[in-house]
Amino acid sequence: MSSATVYKGGSEQSNAGIKSVRILHTADIHLGDANGEVCCGTPTHAPYYHPCTVLHALVDYSLQAKVDLIIVAGDLFDHNRVDAATLEFASEQLKRAVVPVLILPGNHDCLTPDSVYHRIDFSRSAPNVSVFARPEGQGFSFPNLDLAVWGKPVTDYGGGLRPMSGVPPRGAERWQVAVAHGHYIRGSLPGTDSYPIYHEELVNSGRDYVALGHWSNFYCVCQAPVKAFYCGAAVETGTCAIVDFLANEIRVRRHTVTPAKIA
């Protein structure tokens, strides 16, 4: 795929046979929210997008852009009490994406005993969807993409969890990705933010790309040796990140979908 790919800085010959991989990285869609009071109490932009139209538009774009994998970096759902119709809608849309979809529970849809993720059985309704369900963190391997993704779900509302602690060493796959939902912190300011993701944890993660969620805006927090990006809260900005894993580099770009707005 990606016939437009231009390999720079290396001989094409030596790159022959290395398949490029494209990921759509989204977060903070907040399905089930009807009030616009999303993203940790921060006032949203007005007008804002209806979460359902955002998910629909993201899936449309994933098909158009021919992505290989979709990562939802937290807060797909606005809360753990979303109704059955919302769950059904989520399944329908994610199934429509066809490619694998990985969902990380965030602080809104955290993996508590009454979590929304215990009420939805994607294995029946959308078999291409998987949820990070192990509190200590979990890896998914995609041998056909030569890529693996590790993520640790948010498991409570307390804010003490460190989403990027305990990342295991790199696996055998060429591309190593992590996904985390929380606040990026540069330097050491303990206790100032909930779900802290420290700069050093990113740098030392051994990953090639870290897909972050929780912040409103598309934002690069680390370029080297690890690329770590917030994709933006989809329900507020309509943005997602398109990540291309090429032979010699990883390219990240912002894409904005244009769902219908609510006045």
The H or E element that residue 179 is part of is strand 175-181
CB of 233 to Mn ion, least distance (A): 8
Q: Which residue is nearest to Mn ion (CB)?
A: 214
CB of 186 to Mn ion, least distance (A): 19
Binding of residue 75 to Mn ion (CB under 5 A): yes
Q: Which residues neighbour 22 within 8 Å (Cβ) at sequence distance 6 or greater? A: 1, 2, 65, 66, 67, 68, 69, 242, 243, 244, 245
CB of 198 to Mn ion, least distance (A): 17
Residue 19 amino acid letter: K
Which one of 111-119, 124-132, 208-216, 245-253 is the stretch in contact with Mn ion (CB under 5 A)? 208-216
Binding of residue 109 to Mn ion (CB under 5 A): no
Choose between 77 and 175: whose C-beta lies nearer to Mn ion.
77
CA 30 to each of CA 12, 38, 48, 224: distance values in angstroms, whole numbers, following the listed order: 43, 7, 12, 31
Which one of 52-60, 76-84, 107-115, 125-133 is the stretch in contact with Mn ion (CB under 5 A)? 107-115
Binding of residue 30 to Mn ion (CB under 5 A): no
Please, how many CA atoms are within 13 Å of residue 52, restricted to the half-sphere of its CB? 13
Choose between 87 and 235: whose C-beta lies nearer to Mn ion.
235
**What is the size of the binding site for Mn ion (CB under 5 A)?**
4
Binding of residue 107 to Mn ion (CB under 5 A): yes
Q: Which residues neighbour 160 within 8 Å (Cβ) at sequence distance 6 or greater? A: 194
Binding of residue 22 to Mn ion (CB under 5 A): no
Choose between 93 and 107: whose C-beta lies nearer to Mn ion.
107
Q: Which residues neighbour 219 within 8 Å (Cβ) at sequence distance 6 or greater? A: 229, 230, 232
Best CA proximity match to 164, nearest among 195, 121, 190:
195
Of the candidate residues 22, 56, 214, 227, the single one contacting Mn ion (CB under 5 A): 214
Take residue 243 and report the two structure tokens written for it: 């990540």
CB of 106 to Mn ion, least distance (A): 5
CB of 122 to Mn ion, least distance (A): 21
Choose between 27 and 59: whose C-beta lies nearer to Mn ion.
27
Which one of 52-60, 89-97, 112-120, 211-219 is the stretch in contact with Mn ion (CB under 5 A)? 211-219
Choose between 74 and 259: whose C-beta lies nearer to Mn ion.
74
CB of 102 to Mn ion, least distance (A): 17
Take residue 216 and report the two structure tokens written for it: 């409103």
Among positions 177-206, residues that touch Mn ion (CB under 5 A) are none
Binding of residue 106 to Mn ion (CB under 5 A): yes
Q: How many CB atoms sit inside 10 A of residue 241's CB?
A: 26
Q: Which residues neighbour 126 within 8 Å (Cβ) at sequence distance 6 or greater? A: 91, 92, 94, 95, 101
Q: For residues 35 and 189, give the distance between their C-alpha atoms in angstroms, rounded to a whole number.
A: 33
Binding site for Mn ion (CB under 5 A): 75, 106-107, 214
